[in-house]
Structure 1
Amino acid sequence: MTIQRELADIQGNILSAYGRLGFPKGRFLLLNVANAAAGRMVIDMLRPIVTTAVRWPSKSNPYPPGTIYQARPEVAVNLAFTFRGLLALDVPIRTLRGMPDEFIDGMAARADILCDNYPHNIKETWDPVWRPTTDPLRRVHILVTLNAQMKPDGTPVDRLDEITREIAALCDQTKGGVTVLSGHRGDNAAYQDLSALLQQAGDGTYYPIPVEHFGFVDAIGDPVFEGQVPDENMAREVIGQGKLMADQTWQPIAAGEFLLGHPDESQEIAGHAMPMDFSRNGTFFAYRKLHQNVAGFRNYLASKADAFAAVMQVPRAEAEPTLMAKIAGRWADGVPLVSAPTFGEWQAVRTRRAAAEAAGDKATLAALDRALVDFTFAGDPDGAKCPFGSHLRRSNTRDMLDPHLSTHDPKQVNGSVLNNRRRILRRGLPYGAAQPGGDDTGEHGIVMLAACASLFRQFEFVQQQWMQYGLDFMAGNDTCPIIGNHGEDAKFVIASDPASGKPPFICDRLPQFVETRGGDYFFVPSMTALRMIATGVVDPT
């Protein structure tokens, strides 16, 4: 069945991750609205340049004749609003009261639920621009995301600076009605700067790589939902990234898990703000600025490598990359442990990829790429290949929580039913540069935008229940070894193959690897709703 999304009505950073589409640079601005009319004017002036989900021409993967395109912008522009921002813009109370409680509260008010007041209170550690405040002129109301293409020298295209100045000038014209908030840590307090990590080519130019500061290939396995990609690509894209059915085939997830106003996996259309056109084709973002303690991560791996090598009886040279893989659930290049559980098997995959690249063997490369996501946990019931508590198994449980999985009866399995309502779309880019051999006092990490239809049922559940507790993974109170909160007694258990006779290895005294530095909950309206907000014609009846 062909499902067509209203691409011209959906903002472009929902269906696709810009970083994958040739926009490795980013700049996020936060605006405060002191005057509703001025705020609506600024939105109305920005609205014509907001990037929608209408597709761009593609040379590598051309779409069929008749496909409607938009010109590829140098800078993609998108807007989102906090609850207080919508209130400041005079969106009617009858509309706003239909918004979910967690969005109304805001992220800072739910810091304890999200376990963000650790290791220190957010009032001390968050960037000044994000810290809770009673000053109405310091509150975050509007998020402007700018994602830019890159020049060969590794710097963003000039248009990024131009549009930043244009937005600042537009706000200045309101004479205090709308202001660009300052207080970001980094080189410029007026905005959050972002950039994919870069490598230098032989000719001196630079190109982006999909790797985050800890060294893992990132953004693998984002969910695929109905109508997200063209029909001719869906059969390929849905493998390993959609929902696993009882017959072990893959199908796209219901669009209502990510887009408001559409049926979700329970075949319900969640009640949100009225009128329906205000909510439909919108979504919510959980903005998370996450500082990465890269030096601490590297030092910890090095400190445990000798003991791991001795217990698991592997060469010392294999210990650190294996430990890193066990913590993540994947090898550094993204190969899942369930597919290549040992260092030797991983090297064999790498050798096969190198040979395929040298020969230009596209079919083999496509199969290897598909293998990064096309797997389940049914063949690893003891967690001997991929530890139960690893980040991978916590963030996307696939078929792991199927209560009938251990029966091995294909007539009873439910696929990924219990997992399908917890999925989130991940958007964002790294920021800063972690210096080799440096400490963790610098400004480096990742800004993640988690998109979902229900912040409570999807983002907050995963963050609190799966990342900060271990009960669903038979790990007691052990938290995620990467992004979990780690007290003095924090540990991570690496199981061994029961047939090997080796004991499990316990990574004890895990230090804190990731800390929040700011964030909030944002409503990402459709283009229809954006026009309604800008013109002040939201009618809840």
Structure 2
Amino acid sequence: MGILGNLAARFRRESVTLELDDIQALILRSRPEPYVGIHAMLHVDEAEGGRDLVRRLARHVPAASDWTEERDAWMGVALSHAGLRALGLPETALKSFPLAFRQGMAERAEQLRDFGENAPETWEEAFKPGNCHIALTIYARDDEALDRTIERAMEEYDRSHGVTLLGTHRFGADADAKNPFGFRDSISQPTVAGSGVEPQPGQERAIAAGEFILGENSEAGAPVAMPEPSILGRNGSFVVLRKYQSRVGAFNDFVRRHAESEHEQEKLGAKMFGRWRSGAPLVLSPDRDDPELGGDPSRNNDFDFSKDPRGLVCPHSAHMRRLNPRGSELTILTDENIHRIIRRSSTFGPKWSADVSAADDAREDRGIFFIFISARAYDTIEFLQQEWINRGNFIDLGEERDPVVGLHEEPGHFTIPADPVRRRLDGVTTFNRLRGGEYMFMPSLSALDWIGNAGWR
């Protein structure tokens, strides 16, 4: 059973408490497997023309009311703070957004630890400060459905004026939904309370809707601060968009350097990610990959780390365990549930191959758009970047960084706990280089209409 089939089987419309008719489907709708799609970045040159395009595109953005049902393609629209300003929103509304969102991702480089080769001055032109005003994303089941939806979007763009298309980037993955390094991606997704779906095995309970949807109660028992007026903020959410160039060859070379046999190389990669390539978690299959387990959504997330307190099965520094420490004892305490995110990452470029080496990295356009949705998106990504990705204090590993997405300005190391002596592998480099990003706001459908029709006048 696929992702959507699994969701449909667990969906109970009588349990819905969210205003699904007003929420963009992309917030709740999982991408298909296999999937293809496109990201388009636009700049608003003239407010009236920009609002006209928003109004036109809004007609093609589906609501989340049918989010568990099959669909060939769908699109979502998000706006940066600079974009909202360019669209002519009143100053009172612009100032009601949180500071981090108002400043934008580039200006938050210090908080995000985006230094050196990840610094904003190295980013692609579309992501330079103030450039990306509108981000349009389309997901589809196949190229035919994608092309039809792109054609409709381009027809609306061609009929508008005062907006410049900065660039587009197609992406996609096969039925295994693997990332550039050959590992199944975006398995662990939170269940949103009030969405009508019960938690999957391995999830203790649904997460309060206000962690993802503005205007709903959060884990703290009250809504997080949202933009005003209410029609602008309610039922929207925030989006983190970060584009990475993946250095798959450098990763392959690192694994080959520290493990001899093919099986040992696969196992080392699994230790770094926390899962085998199929998606099977190490804690459920410690010694070898289990594709049947990895492809089973009712089992591949049914675990925590409480029975592996020393990290002998899944290292504390593994990418997956860092970003979702579920059941781990952390040196620096934090509430895991307020850092939960809805992942919408997308892979682009050639499929992973063991034959790729570091010499190939400069020649191949391969990477991932790391995209997630949360009512606390900017706070969450800055916490993750500062504490869980680019430090190791919370797991007693000092300055050891995430081996997959950490910024390694100098070669770092990866620690594998073992009896009697742990292994420390040196030579970890930046396997995912940041090429740009932005903080975006994904308005509700009524807010898109309000913006498109200048409802503040």
Deviations, residues 508-529 of structure 1 (Å, cap 9, x unaligned): 0112211111110110000111
TM-score, length-normalised on structure 2?
Answer: 0.90
- Partners of 1:448 and 1:262 lie apart in 2 by 25
What whole-Å deviation, never above 9, does each CA across 1:204-247 have from its counterpart, x for those lacking one?
xxxx331111011111111111023x3xx41xx33324xxxxxx
Residue in structure 2 matched with residue 338 of structure 1 by the alignment: 283
Higher Rg: 1
* 2:432 is the counterpart of 1:455: no
1:372-412 deviation line (CA, Å, top 9, x unaligned): 211111111111111111111111011214689xxxxxxxx
CA distance in 1 between counterparts of 2:31 and 2:387 reads: 29
Cα RMSD over matched residues?
Answer: 2.4
Match of 2:448 in 1: 530
1:492 and 2:437 aligned = no
Distance across 1 between alignment mates of 2:194 and 2:428: 42
Kindly tell me: are residues 296 and 494 of structure 1, through their superposed partners in 2, closer, same or farther at Cα, counting changes over 3 Å? same
| Residues 248-397 of structure 1 aligned to structure 2 (within 5 Å) | 250-306=204-260, 316-343=261-288, 346=289, 349-350=290-291, 353=292, 369-397=297-325
Deviations 1:289-330 (A, max 9, x none): 111101111111001114xxxxxxxxx343101101111111
Calculate the TM-score normalised by the size of structure 1: 0.76
2:428 is aligned with what amino acid? L
- For residue 6 of structure 1, report the CA deviation from its aligned partner: 1.3
2-structure distance, mates of 1:221, 1:57: 17
CA displacement, residues 244-287 of structure 1 (integer Å, 9 cap, x when unaligned) = xxxxxx11000010111111001121122112221111000011
- Residues 120 and 286 of structure 1: is their aligned pair in 2 closer, same or farther, counting only changes over 3 Å? closer
Partner of 1:446: 368
47 and 459 in structure 1: CA distance in 2 versus 1, 3 angstrom threshold: same
User: What is the CA–CA distance in structure 1 between the aligned matches of 2:294 and 2:44, rounded to whole Å?
Assistant: 48
**Is the 8 Å Cα contact of residues 33 and 88 (structure 1) preserved in structure 2?**
yes
Equivalent residue for 2:346?
Answer: 429
Of the three residues 160, 174, 184, the one matched with 1:217 is: 184
SS of 2:245's equivalent in the other structure is strand
For residues 399 and 294 of structure 2, the distance between their equivalents in structure 1, rounded to whole angstroms, comes to: 39
Among 476, 489, 499, the alignment partner of 2:398 is: 476
Q: Percent identity, aligned pairs only?
A: 31
Letter in 2 for 1:80: A
Matched, 1:116 2:114: yes
Contact 1:17 1:428 survives alignment (8 Å) = no
**AA partner of residue 484 (structure 1):** G
CA distance in 2, matches of 1:495, 1:339: 18
> Which residue in 2 is equivalent to 1:2?
15
Instruction: Tell me, in whole angstroms, the C-alpha distance in 1 between the residues paired with 2:31 and 2:295.
Output: 24
Deviation for aligned residue 1:120 = 5.1
- What's the offset of the Cα at 1:102? 0.8
User: 1:132 maps to which residue?
Assistant: 129
1:222 counterpart letter in structure 2: Q
1:169 aligns with 2:158: yes
Deviations 1:479-516 (A, max 9, x none): 001100123341111011x3xx4x21111011221111
- Counting matched residue pairs gives 439
The match for 1:144 is 136
Cα pair distance change 1:386/1:121, threshold 3 Å: same
The answer for unaligned runs of 5 or more in structure 2 is 1-13
Q: 1:58 to 1:44 in 2, by over 3 A?
A: closer
Q: Does 1:96 align with 2:81?
A: no
Q: CA deviation at 1:52?
A: 1.6
Equivalent position amino acid for 1:464 in 2:
Q
Give, in angstroms, the shift of residue 370 of structure 1. Answer: 2.8
Q: What stretches of structure 1 move > 4 A for 4+ residues in a row?
A: 56-59, 365-368
SS of structure 1 residue aligned to 2:48 = helix
Instruction: Note if contact 2:186-2:345 (Cα within 8 Å) is conserved in structure 1.
Output: no
Alignment partner of 2:221: what SS? coil
- The amino acid of 2:36's aligned partner reads K
2:437 equivalent to 1:509: no
Which of residues 73, 77, 95 in structure 2 aligns to 1:75?
A: 73
| Bigger mean CA offset, 516-525 vs 371-380 | 371-380
SS in 1 for 2:102: helix
1:474 is displaced (CA, Å) by 1.2
